[in-house]
Chains A and B, each alone.
Chain A
């Protein structure tokens, strides 16, 4: 998800800011509302943000011979939806661009879009649909967050392809970038899905009532999951 500083020419860096800013603003509004109406979700919000911090600090090696980061944003997306997740990713991406020279301020809009909006939106949508269809909770979390992680890098490839078409062809360029990003990401995405499923198990264990309050689980589903643990 890290497009380097200065690596998106005009008009692309402005375009991605223009798309991301309204979502971030809506996310801030949603987050304020949630925090003032339901104090009990604050620790869970902290855990979801912290999970993004941990996962995006890990540079994991892949079978392709390069390394990349998981995103960690799928968990926040399932709990709070994509808009709130975009706010949490802004914090992480700012830290990494200001202190680690990873990513950048001019590419922040594009990086927030891929990691904080597109991926999380996919995680949220997949989770909701599969949850309605009655899929096992942990399998659902695993699939939704693994696919979301992978989608983040497909979107990054697309962003780079749009800005740097190969001999005039965006598609040819997309194939080149996706070959690097999307293939490297496959093992990492599976890892991220597994870790997210595991941490969600512990959240169910200690705070299933909050998950019911956030409409992540129905109360009967939460009771069943807790009974299965005993």
Chain B
């Protein structure tokens, strides 16, 4: 169980750094760093226009986007939980 405790401590520290970040950046919405990099490109080269786009599906809004991200996480979690649970059960029977 020792490793689980250590990971729990890391999770608590992670939450702490987040709250510290909130306190230090009261106006921040914690947007994506990739978006910030996009702004930086606009700063370095104001004339740059993305030369390609619009092939894939673009979620109409934040709700659909969070649905698709949640599906991605749920799908992955099911696979991990099923596989590890399956082998754990199998191992205990032998």
Are the chains A and B members of one assembly?
A: yes
Please list the residues of chain A having a beta carbon within 8 angstroms of any beta carbon in chain B: 2-7, 9, 43-44, 46-47, 49-54, 56-68, 95-102, 104-106, 138, 153, 156, 160, 164-166, 173, 176-177, 180-181, 184-185, 187, 190-191, 194-195, 197-199, 201-203, 205-207
Residues in B whose Cβ lies below 8 Å from that of A173: 44
Residues in A whose Cβ lies below 8 Å from that of B48: 9, 164
Residues in B whose Cβ lies below 8 Å from that of A191: 10-11, 14
Q: Which of B6, B21, B84 contacts A47 (CB 8 A)?
A: B84
Please list the residues of chain B having a beta carbon within 8 angstroms of any beta carbon in chain A: 3-4, 6-7, 10-11, 13-14, 17-18, 20-21, 24-25, 28, 30-34, 36-38, 40-41, 44-45, 48, 50-59, 65, 68-70, 72-73, 75-80, 83-84, 86-88, 91
A54 and B37 form a contact (CB under 8 A): no
A184 and B83 form a contact (CB under 8 A): no
Residues in A whose Cβ lies below 8 Å from that of B75: 50, 53
A156 to B31, CA, bound (A): 18
Shortest beta-carbon distance from B14 to chain A in Å: 5
Given contacts A180-B33, A190-B14, contact A101 B56 (CB under 8 A): yes
Residues in A whose Cβ lies below 8 Å from that of B44: 164-166, 173, 176
A180 and B37 form a contact (CB under 8 A): yes
Grouping DSSP codes into helix (H, G, I), strand (E, B) and loop, the A interface class, with mixed when no group exceeds half, is helix
Shortest beta-carbon distance from B45 to chain A in Å: 6
B59 and A101 form a contact (CB under 8 A): yes
Q: Which of B14, B52, B72, B79 contacts A57 (CB 8 A)?
A: B72
Given contacts A9-B48, A50-B77, A57-B72, contact A198 B32 (CB under 8 A): no
A47 to B75, CA, bound (A): 11
Shortest beta-carbon distance from B60 to chain A in Å: 11
A207 to B88, CA, bound (A): 9
Q: CB-nearest residue of chain A relative to B42?
A: A164
Given contacts A54-B76, A59-B69, contact A98 B32 (CB under 8 A): no
Residues in B whose Cβ lies below 8 Å from that of A50: 75-80, 83
A176 to B36, CA, bound (A): 11
A66 and B77 form a contact (CB under 8 A): no
A206 to B13, CA, bound (A): 29
Q: CB-nearest residue of chain A relative to B45?
A: A164
